[in-house]
Amino acid sequence: MESTTSRKVLCDLAPIYLKANRLMAAILVLLFLATLALASIHDRWASALLVGSAAMLIPLAAMRVQPTALITRLLVATSLMVFSALQIHLLSGMIEAHFSVFILLSVLLAYRDWRTIVCAATVIAVHHALFCYLQHLGFGVYVMPEMHPMSSYVSMVVIHAVYVVVQSIALCILARQMARDAVTGEELGRLSSHIGRRQGVFDLGFDDTAMSSELGAHFKRTMLAVRGTLTSVSSSIAHVLRISEDIVKGDEDLSSRNQRQEVVLSDTINALESLSRTVHDNSTHAREANELAATAGQVAEQGRKLVDELSAAMSRMRESSAKISDITSMIDSIAFQTNILALNAAVEAARAGQSGRGFAVVAAEVRELAQKSASASQDIRALVDTSQRQVADGASKANDVERNMGDILDQTQRVALIMSDISAASREQSEGVNEVSAAINSIGDATRDNGVLVGDMAGAAESLRRQADILSQAVRVFALEASGSAMATPAEHDVSEPGSAAAGPAGWLQRQADDNASLA
């Protein structure tokens, strides 16, 4: 993991190393030319050409072969100190020439690598210690001015070393901080370039490459969180679109059903009105039938009274017939006695002879009249018997009629009660039908209101769908899927179309303005 991070940091700092190499190459060439100029002061061309050319060519060759390698940077640091030592030698240890050490140490900050500073400080420290001793032994090399005694050389070397150490420590701290800042800037630049590398799109499809800097990691986590949020928003938008489409379809279906229900309710209202009229007519007919039943009851009551009177008359006729029968029996008895008397008279006349002949004739006439009276009495009896039988039959029928009239009167009263109940039920039914009709009318009004609400809901659902479409188009500006195995470096992004990073936000804002204007 650590080696992977080191390679990642090296990759991030590679552009800085390349820029620093170009700067160092120019400085090496300038130092070589300055060395040649300084060589002319004391005619020390051999050392200037030999050492100077080597100090220039070796790091230049390394820059060509391995431009971002650590060995190249260390060779550059060593060459800078070699040039500083060479110029000190060419100037015979002039104190002012030592300033180049501090200048060239500061120049190494361009690499943002503390190791180059430590390497340069070590090289110059070894040079001062070794060559000061060689100068003291008389080897013809110069580190310090000749007019100083050896004790002064040692103290001056120590003082120079202390300053070099202090500066090196400060430069190492700055180099590490600058390296971190460079890595942070490189990572932020790469992330920003990746976001805007596609024209008109915010590309958030980052790969799994870890960020070395804290700020870069935080920025990437933020962008990943934004990507997650936008992914959820995109999913929610798709869900809202599906729901809005379902709502629109449901509203259309509900509107169709509502229209059918309005037709059914209209037919129901018409049927209820017809039923109400029928119930009202039935109530009227029931009331009239009740009145007719009451009238029929009164007529039946009068009929029963008449039958009662008829029964009484028949009873009187039966009594009269009985009296007539008695009278007839009396007549029969009288006729029988008369006949006997006539017979007795005839017998007496026969006994009287000629003198009783006239009396015999009278007796015969009386007898004949008695026989006729008896015959008439029998006829009257027969008629009276027939009349009595007819009177008895009439009385029986009158009794039957009386009972039937009583039954008719009872049935009529029951019919009157039933018709009264029917009339009351019809009135209640009429009231109920009116209430149902009012309720149906209220339902019809509610159905029409529902139709209006369905229309409003359909409009709202359509507006929601349009808003979801607009939001979906806005989210499409963000590319949420990883589009490559690694994020493009700034150098790779530089070859893309200019202004593509800015075209995304501008295009998106313009589209939002157009969409809002169309909605308005």
Q: Among residues 290, 315, 293, 294, which one has the least CA distance to residue 402?
A: 315
User: Which structural domains are found in the chain, ordered by start?
Assistant: 2-164 (no CATH), 252-478 (1.10.287.950)
Lowest-confidence segment of 47-61, 63-77, 159-173, 373-387 by average pLDDT: 373-387
Of 64, 66, 60, 94, nearest in space to 80 by CA: 60
Confidence of residue 517 (pLDDT cuts 50, 70, 90): low
| C-alpha to C-alpha distance for 99 and 154, rounded to whole angstroms | 18
Predicted pLDDT at 72: 96
Residue 138 confidence (pLDDT) above 70 = yes
pLDDT recorded at residue 7 = 62
Q: How far apart (Å, rounded) are the C-alpha atoms in residues 240 and 278?
A: 54
Measuring CA to CA, which residue among 29, 18, 164 is closest to residue 83?
29
Q: Give residue 496's pLDDT band: very low, low, confident or very high (50, 70, 90).
A: very low
Residue located via tokens 């593509």: 500
The predicted model gives 148-166 an average pLDDT of: 79
Answer yes or no: are the C-beta atoms of 164 and 101 closer than 8 Å. yes
pTM, 2 dp: 0.50
The number of CA neighbours under 13 Å toward the Cβ of 232 is 5
Is the confidence at residue 114, as pLDDT, over 90? yes
* Closest to 198 in 3D by CA, of 477, 490, 514: 477
Please state, in angstroms and rounded to a whole number, the distance separating the CA atoms of residues 381 and 329: 8
Residue 77's pLDDT is: 97
Q: Using alpha carbons, select from 100, 110, 113 the residue that is nearest to residue 164.
A: 100
405 residue type, one letter:
M
If you average pLDDT over residues 372-396, what whole number do you get? 76
**In the structure, how many helices (H) and strands (E) does the chain have?**
10, 2
Q: Which of 126-135, 150-159, 368-377, 482-491 has the highest mean pLDDT?
A: 126-135
Q: If we measure between CA atoms, which residue out of 384, 393, 390 comes closest to residue 324?
A: 384
CB-side neighbour CA atoms (13 Å) of 40: 5
Contacts of 34 (CB under 8 A, 6+ apart): 87
CA nearest to 17, candidates 111, 108, 107, 104: 111
pLDDT in tens, 436-466: 777 777 887 877 777 777 777 777 777 877 7
Instruction: Report yes or no: 83 and 52 within 8 Å, Cβ to Cβ.
Output: yes
DSSP string, 221-278: HHHHHHHHHHHHHHHHHHHHHHHHHHHHHHHHHHHHHHHHHHHHHHHHHHHHHHHHHH
Pick the closest to residue 460 from 243, 135, 265, 288 (CA basis). Answer: 243
Residue 93 pLDDT exceeds 50: yes
Q: Does the pLDDT at position 322 exceed 70?
A: yes
How much of the chain, in percent, has pLDDT values that exceed 70? 80
Confidence of residue 211 (pLDDT cuts 50, 70, 90): low
* pLDDT exceeds 60 at position 491: no
